[in-house]
């Protein structure tokens, strides 16, 4: 049996007020409209729910039996309405973000901090171990931050991929390196020295490999390390030269490395992406975070 929630709520107000007229004032409905709903409900139950008594009503046993279920319906609907209000106000919400290790470590914290200053009541879960879309296909994440040249084909359904930042890549060397102070450096000058690769994701490494292959060049490498800090340690140890995003170097003035000025034809850029739910599936928390990304975007960025 499919009961109409509106009919149950109408019956409940009538039962609590003891009068169709009083219920009409609360519900802002005419008495005939209320009577029609109660008649339909009585027909579904199979017997009268009340009988008239003077100017009021008295519930029948069937009506009394329907009181508690009707109250439960009202409580459930009130709870759903409050949940919607809380959701719109970001109360009780959470923002779940998955990103590659480098993006989670160096690019997202300041955006998360800005979001929390505005919505301190919203917990943020930031996972920094994402390598490609396959790892997030079945996971419950709101936003995915990925690097260029990653496999984006396995994103969750209803997600769209957008370029977020176009980040310059710089070459880092130890103080006193022979190429420091020279005119802008060309690729052939760089390739006289071994390179230090990272193995924690394609990102910068893949960007370099693609650029060199396009010029028919191959990069000599002596060491493969796991993260950006390890690249710096290897550079300072004299094992080769490293490459990383310019803004990462800017965030770490404590690193005793130097950057080389590259020729225009050697300049590289690393594209970062954000995968977002399509607009109809975006929560208020997601929309607010994306608005902060847009407001903080540098010229040329397109979050």
Give the whole-number percent of the chain exceeding pLDDT 70. 86
Output the CATH code of domain 166-270: 3.40.190.290
Segment 131-157 mean pLDDT: 69
Say whether pLDDT at 47 is over 60.
yes
Measure Cα distances from 289 to 97, 120, 275, 293 in Å.
10, 13, 13, 6
Report the C-alpha gap between 153 and 136 in whole angstroms.
11
Query: What per-residue confidence (pLDDT) applies to 64?
Result: 92
Output the CATH code of domain 95-165+271-295: 3.40.190.10
Say whether pLDDT at 299 is over 50.
no
CATH of 5-88, one of 3.30.420.10, 2.40.10.340, 3.30.70.100, 1.10.10.10: 1.10.10.10
Count CB neighbours of 229 within 10 A: 13
Q: Which of 73-87, 119-133, 138-152 has the highest mean pLDDT?
A: 119-133
Give, as one character, the DSSP assignment of residue 264: G
Q: Answer whether 0.85 is exceeded by the pTM.
A: no
Q: Where in the chain is the domain with CATH 1.10.10.10?
A: 5-88
Q: Which residue has the tokens 């990069």?
A: 219
Q: Tell me: the pLDDT tens digits for 235-266?
A: 999 888 998 888 899 999 999 999 987 777 66
């Amino acid at each position: 049996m499919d009961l109409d929630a509106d009919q149950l709520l109408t019956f409940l107000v009538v039962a609590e007020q003891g009068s169709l007229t009083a219920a009409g004032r609360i519900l802002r409905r005419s008495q005939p409209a209320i009577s029609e709903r109660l008649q339909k409900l009585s027909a579904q139950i199979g017997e009268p729910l009340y009988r008239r008594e003077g100017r009021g009503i008295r519930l029948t046993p069937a009506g009394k039996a329907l009181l508690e279920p009707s109250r439960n319906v009202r409580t459930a609907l009130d709870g759903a309405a409050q949940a919607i209000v809380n959701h719109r106000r970001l109360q009780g919400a959470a923002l779940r973000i998955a990103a590659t290790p480098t993006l989670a470590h160096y690019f997202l914290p300041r955006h998360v901090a800005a979001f929390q200053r505005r919505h301190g009541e919203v917990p943020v879960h930031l996972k920094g171990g994402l390598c490609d879309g396959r790892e997030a296909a079945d996971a419950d994440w709101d936003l995915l931050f990925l690097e260029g040249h990653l496999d984006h084909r396995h994103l969750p359904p209803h997600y769209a991929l957008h370029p977020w930042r176009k980040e310059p890549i710089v070459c880092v060397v130890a103080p006193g390196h022979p190429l420091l102070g020279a005119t802008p450096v060309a690729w052939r000058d760089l390739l006289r020295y071994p390179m230090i690769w990272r193995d924690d994701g394609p990102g910068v490494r893949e960007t370099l490999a693609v650029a060199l292959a396009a010029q028919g060049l191959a990069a000599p490498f002596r060491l493969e390390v796991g993260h950006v800090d390890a690249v710096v340690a290897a550079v300072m140890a004299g094992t080769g030269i490293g490459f990383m995003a310019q803004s990462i170097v800017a965030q770490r003035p404590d690193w005793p490395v130097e950057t080389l000025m590259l020729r225009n034809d050697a300049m590289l850029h690393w594209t970062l992406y954000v995968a977002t739910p399509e607009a109809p599936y975006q929560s208020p928390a997601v929309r607010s975070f994306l608005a902060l990304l847009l407001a903080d975007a540098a010229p040329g960025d397109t979050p």
